[in-house]
Structures are given as C-alpha cells and as structure tokens.
Chain A
Amino acid sequence: MNRQHIFKFFISLALVVCFVDGHAQQNNLIVKQDTIEVDKDPVPYKTNYGFRLGVDISKPIRGLIQDFYSGFEIVGDYRISRKWYAAAEIGTEKQNTIEDFTKSTAKGQYIRLGMNYNSYNNWLDMNNEVYLGFRYGFALFEQTLNSYTINSGNTFFDSIPNDIPQTVDGLTAHWTEIMVGIKAEIYNNIFVGISGSYKIMMSVDDPTNFKTHFAPGFNRVYISQTGFGFNYTVSYLIPFRKK
C-alpha cells in the first residue's frame, strides 16, 4: 500500500517536472510526418516526432530503500528518424561505500549521450519501442575517505581507525554503455520505460593512495572495470501539431 503511494507520487512529480519543462520547449518544436507501407495496402499514417523528457524514478526509490544512496536523473530523447533516437541522461548521485577496512563516500554529476535504435515495428498509431542503445558517459565527482583501519593481519595489536576525512575532488570518469530497453505509451504522450545497460569503463581517476569505489552514473567500480545499470523511467512527449 505504501509502495503504490510512493509510485503515484513520483509519477505525479515526474509529470509536474515534465510539464514545466515542456512549456519552455514549445517554441523549439520540429514536426515531421512519416508514411509507411503495410503489406500491399499502402496506408499512410502520421506518427509522433518530438522531444521526450522524463525522470528515472528508480533512483529516488532506491534512495528511500537504501540509506547509503541518493540520486536523481533526468532522461530525454529526440526522434531523428523512423528508427533512430538521439538520447541523453543527466543526473547526480551520491553513494557511501562500506568495506571491511575503509568507509568512503563518492558524489557528483554525470551525463550520458548516445543513440537508441528501435527494433520494434509498431502497428499503425502505436508508439512503443524495443530498443538497443549506445552511450558515452562522463562523470565529474569527488570522493571522501571517511575512515579507515590498517589491515595488520593480526589480532595481537588493536588497529585504531583513522577518522579524519580526506576529500579529493575534480575526479573524472569516462565510459561506454550498451543498453536494451522497452518504452510503452501508456496514455496520451506518456511513456513508461525500463532499460538495462552494460557499462565498460574507459578511464577513471583514483585519489592518491586510494581507489575510486563508485563513480556517479557508472555505479560501483570494480577491478573488472565493468558494471551494470538500469533505469525505470516515466516520460512525456512534448505535444506536437497534428496534420
């Protein structure tokens, strides 16, 4: 019962955000028409082009469930042809990492830019997508070593934790992503989407005598330099002119 309320709250919040932003975008609309042939019966139909803006609602939900995480992400895409969309996500994340001997916090902003390819053939006036996407991601963040204990390898002497926080800022990370996702139009111009992505880190800055454990937009950084992520989005397609 609580989860549904949270759900509805965030959808309403997302719609409020989108409407406010949508209004500002109205002067920059580009409207297109599209005609396709279905089987032997050429049926010309118009499909929606325009700018779609939304929020990743999985991040605020995760923030509520996981006390070590907080984040917010805005997603957008823009249809540039029948199958191709230009897409971007921008957001901010903060995560605490607690390991056996270190406690650290990473926080910062990120942006992902790329394209989605819709492989789903919509019937007539449906606007659903099953897509494959590619992204280039960039993050600018800081990491703080909150506390650490020397791993002495013995129990004869107590290892006293060092609690003086040390922050290094201006850290950057670059990575690429492949994603698969689904977007469904559930109501007039309102879309719900879910996607999963596989990320490959290209380069990440580490603080001196430490290591970056989490990069915003990328998630946890392991020795493998790869990671996974997902979105659960609600978006609104900015209204277009019908002909």
Chain B
Amino acid sequence: MKLHHHLKKMKKYSIVLSLIILLTNGCEKDDFCIEEVTPNLILRFCDVTNPSNTLAADGLTIWPEGRDSIVVNQTLDSIAIPLDVNNEQTIYNFSSGAAIDQITIYYTVNEIFVSRSCGYKAEFSNLLAIPTNSWIEYIEQLTTTVEDESAAHIQIFH
C-alpha cells in the first residue's frame, strides 16, 4: 500500500523532473553577441593638392577581386571594407568614374576569443597596402594594425 503510494509520487516526480531537465538545459543566458568582432579596414579619401583635407571620390565602385561590389557608383569620403580572414591578403578594386585602381592589402591574422556567443574575432597586424596608380596618387598607412574601427587605417590621396 505504502509502496504503491510512493510509486505514484515517483511518477509525478518524473514528470516534474523531465520539465526541469528541459528548462534548466534550455536556458541560455549569454545568448547574444554584443561585443565587437572582427574590425573592417577603414579608408579615407584625401585631396592630393591639399593633403590635410578629405576629398570625396566620385562615382566610386568598390569590389573585392572576383566578388560582388561593396558599393556601386557612390560619392564617398570614407569607407569600411572587410578583409578576408582566411587569407593573408585581400585585393580590392576601386573604380572612380572610368579609371580603375587595385589595392593589394597584406596582413597577418590574429585570432582572439571574445565570448561564448561571439566566438573568435580576427585582428590584423603587419598591415601593408600597395596600390596601382590610375586615379590614386598615393596612399598613406596610418597604422600597421587593424584592431578596431575607431579611426581610419589608410588614407588614399587622389
């Protein structure tokens, strides 16, 4: 009699137990990635005749070699472009009107753990950018590392 009563209780417990199993193991507290992850390369366009001023490039179309465009026919004085984290270089094409230039960007990828939900981000060091010169006169690297997007990394003079 006592055993039957307790077995009934155990059945009720196992239902509660299953619920608790599902609940406590379904709860994810750190669910959203809110931290900064891999930074983009920030370029600023400057006036070759007046180097301390920015000068927007007209009719700008930018695309990584062999891929789709990031911007099409826009007038911009700065832009953030992604670097390929699975390679040690990325080649970008910049066309301003009819003229096309290529910038080859070399770097070393450093993998850094951020958090449970964000995973790993990449930071770039040993940065080296080499342009062609149709409409771009020259470029100036402000840094050899890309760790965040707080400031421009490369200035393009045209």
Residues of chain A having any CB pair with chain B under 8 Å? 3, 7, 58, 61-62, 65-66, 99-102, 148-154, 156-160, 184, 186-187, 192, 194, 196, 209-211, 213, 219, 222-224, 228-230, 232
Q: Once the chains bind, are B21 and A151 in contact (CB under 8 Å)?
A: no
B51 CB, min distance to chain A CBs, angstroms: 31
B72 at the interface (CB under 8 A from A): no
CB-CB under 8 A for A232 and B13, given A102-B119, A150-B119, A150-B121: yes
Q: Once the chains bind, are A100 and B117 in contact (CB under 8 Å)?
A: yes
A216 CB, min distance to chain B CBs, angstroms: 15
List 12 contacting pairs A-B, 8 Å CB cutoff, sorted by A: A62-B25, A66-B25, A100-B119, A156-B82, A157-B84, A158-B86, A159-B86, A187-B2, A187-B6, A192-B13, A232-B13, A232-B17
| Segment at the interface with A among B30-38, B98-106, B127-135, B139-147 | B30-38
CA of A96 to CA of B61 in the docked complex: distance in angstroms? Answer: 45
Q: Across the interface, which residues of B come within 8 angstroms of A153, CB to CB?
A: 37-38, 40, 82, 121
B120 at the interface (CB under 8 A from A): yes
Closest 7 CB pairs of A and B: A101-B119, A186-B6, A154-B82, A157-B84, A151-B37, A222-B29, A151-B119
Q: Categorize the interface residue count of chain B.
A: 35 or more
Q: Across the interface, which residues of A come within 8 angstroms of B115, CB to CB?
A: 211, 223
Q: Across the interface, which residues of B come within 8 angstroms of A101, CB to CB?
A: 118-120
Chain B 26-66 interface mask (CB, 8 Å, partner A; 1/0): 00011001000110100000000000000000000000100
CB-CB under 8 A for A152 and B113, given A159-B86, A223-B30: no
CA of A58 to CA of B82 in the docked complex: distance in angstroms? Answer: 48
Q: Across the interface, which residues of B come within 8 angstroms of A210, CB to CB?
A: 113
Q: Which of B9, B20, B122 contacts A150 (CB 8 A)?
A: B122
CA of A61 to CA of B111 in the docked complex: distance in angstroms? Answer: 39
Q: Across the interface, which residues of A come within 8 angstroms of B90, CB to CB?
A: 157
Q: Across the interface, which residues of B come within 8 angstroms of A148, CB to CB?
A: 119-120
Q: Once the chains bind, are A230 and B24 in contact (CB under 8 Å)?
A: yes
CB-CB under 8 A for A152 and B17, given A209-B111, A211-B116: no
**B84 — nearest CB in chain A belongs to which residue?**
A157
Q: Once the chains bind, are A159 and B85 in contact (CB under 8 Å)?
A: yes
Q: Once the chains bind, are A151 and B25 in contact (CB under 8 Å)?
A: no
Q: Once the chains bind, are A192 and B10 in contact (CB under 8 Å)?
A: yes
A160 CB, min distance to chain B CBs, angstroms: 5
Q: Across the interface, which residues of B come within 8 angstroms of A62, CB to CB?
A: 21, 25
Beyond contacts A99-B119, A184-B6, A187-B3: 14 other A-B pairs, Cβ-Cβ < 8 A, are A7-B10, A58-B17, A100-B33, A102-B116, A149-B119, A151-B114, A151-B121, A156-B67, A157-B64, A160-B86, A186-B2, A192-B13, A209-B111, A210-B113
